[in-house]
Amino acid sequence: MEELLQALWTKNYCILQERLRLVRTAEEKLAGGSLDAQSRGDAESAAHKLAGILGTFGLAQGSALAGKIETLLAQDAVLDSASAAQLKLWLDDLEAIVASRP
C-alpha cells in the first residue's frame, strides 16, 4: 500500500505544487493590496483540493492547514493585513509539510 501511495504522490506532486502556487499568488496579492476575486477564488479552490488530498498521503496537519486557508479565503469579509499575515504563516507551514514528505 505504501508503494502505491508513494507512486501516487510522485505522479501528482506537480499538481500539488501548482495548487500551492495558486495559494501563494493570492497571498502575495493580498499582502500587496491587490487580491482580486478570480485569484481569491482560484486559491480557495486549490486550498479545498489540498485539504481533501493531503490526509490521504499521511499529512493530516497539512490537510487541516489547507482547510483553514480555504475557510479564510471563503469568507465574505474583506481580508485585511492581519488576514494576510495569518495566510502567510499557514501557507509557509503548509509548504514545509508538503516538502517534508519524500
* Domains within the chain, CATH numbers bracketed: 2-100 (1.20.120)
- The per-residue DSSP string of 75-93 comes to -SSPP-HHHHHHHHHHHHH
Cα–Cα separations (whole angstroms), residue 61 to 26, 51, 80, 99, 100? 21, 9, 25, 13, 12
| Residue 38 confidence (pLDDT) | 96
Residue 51: other Cβ atoms inside 10 A: 20
Q: Output the tens digit of pLDDT for each of the chain's 102 residues.
A: 889 989 999 999 999 999 999 999 999 999 999 999 999 999 999 999 999 999 989 999 999 999 999 999 999 888 999 999 999 999 999 999 999 987
